[in-house]
Amino acid sequence: MSNTRDIESGIHTDFASEMSYGSYLDLDTLLSAQHPVSRPEHHDELLFIIQHQTTELWFKLVLHELRSASALLRADEFRESLKRIARVKHIQRTLTEQWSVLATLTPTEYAEFRGFLGHSSGFQSWQYRAVEFALGNKHRGMLNVHRADPDAHALLTELLEAPSLYDEFLRALARRGYAIPAEVLDRDVTLAHTPNAELTEVFVEIYANAHDHWDVYEACEELVDLEDNFQLWRFRHLKTVQRTIGMKTGTGGSSGVGFLQRALDLTFFPELFSVRTEIGA
């Protein structure tokens, strides 16, 4: 046994003028986009860069799927929208699991190149902010940091002013005859959604009679998964930060761990959680 695989004669090998793997994926661009700034170059900075870049690539797809999910809800295409959300949930799991790679970076190693990062910080990730906005965590003040990047600023402004995924979901429910409160439907979508007791009652009815509202019930649970997964990512980020820089202030200028901790109190779909308190009550 040679323990070698034959390269079959039919395998294509001439890519001088044909599209290849590398040219289709523009790997020259992708793989020449890692530029460590530490001097002398720190061995672990490549890990730090690639961890962020892979996350940003997945954020790009998450945003693409969420925007499509919203548009499908607007068109009353419920099932198709759920398909998009299902994909986002898998990406979130990958992203949450990926923190374990970065956790191999010890505090000492990170401290050796942290000083070269200046004031740059994940806080300035416009794609992360876009995902937060798309899910409904709106905050106009977050636009400020993107003033120097007109394209990012424009996209975030567009998302800030557009209904969130939850807004679209609730509007779709209203069109189906559910008694979504008018103040929820007419709310200022540039602000974060605030909990509404009357809306919780709509979900109480849906959850109490799931079989009569199956597709809506299913959609509710998909949204709960989405928020849950998002919180798990935030939590793993917080824990990675804690083990890497302790209680140091952030390069972005925040208090660090305390600032990230407060994000865990935020909720995209509060009524889908408050309904749980009422079940069987």
Ligand X SMILES: N[C@@H](CC(=O)c1ccccc1NC=O)C(=O)O
52 lines the binding site for ligand X (CB under 6 A)? yes
237 is in an annotated binding site: yes
Minimum distance, C-beta of residue 276 to ligand HEM, in the bound complex (Å): 25
Question: How many CB atoms are located within 10 Å of the residue 275 CB?
Answer: 22
DSSP classification of residue 35? -
Task: Provide the b/e sequence for 142-166 (b: ≥16 CB within 10 Å).
Answer: bbebbeeeeebbebbeebbebbbbb
- Number of residues engaging ligand X in binding (CB under 6 A): 10
When computed from its CA atoms, the radius of gyration of the chain, rounded to whole angstroms, is 23
Choosing among ligand HEM, ligand X, none, which partner's interface includes residue 270 (Cβ < 5 to 8 Å by kind)? none
- Helices marked H in the chain: 21-24, 27-31, 45-74, 78-102, 107-114, 126-135, 150-161, 165-175, 182-185, 197-208, 214-245, 257-263, 270-278
What tokens does 215 get?
């597709």
- CA 144 – CA 155 distance, rounded (Å): 13
Smallest distance, ligand X to C-beta of residue 42, A: 13
CA atoms within 13 A on the CB side of 269: 27
Alpha carbon distance 9, 166 (integer Å):
54
Q: Which span sits near ligand HEM by CB under 6 A: 8-16, 69-77, 158-166, 257-265?
A: 257-265
CB-based contact 66:84 (threshold 8 Å): yes
Query: Would the annotation count 114 as a binding residue?
Result: yes
From 15-23, 39-47, 118-126, 213-221, give the range in contact with ligand HEM by CB under 6 A. 118-126
For ligand HEM, which is the closer residue by CB, 36 or 252? Answer: 252
DSSP 41: P
Nearer residue to ligand X within complex by CB, 122 or 181 = 122
Interaction partner, residue 102 (ligand HEM, ligand X, none; CB < 5-8 Å by kind): ligand HEM
* Site size with ligand HEM, rule: CB under 6 A: 24
The stretch among 7-15, 64-72, 218-226, 244-252 that binds ligand HEM (CB under 6 A) is 244-252
Enumerate binding residues for ligand HEM (CB under 6 A): 51-52, 55, 102, 110, 121-123, 125, 128, 237, 240-241, 244-245, 250-254, 256, 259-260, 263
Enumerate binding residues for ligand X (CB under 6 A): 52, 114, 117, 120-122, 245, 250-252
- Which residues define the annotated binding site for heme? 237
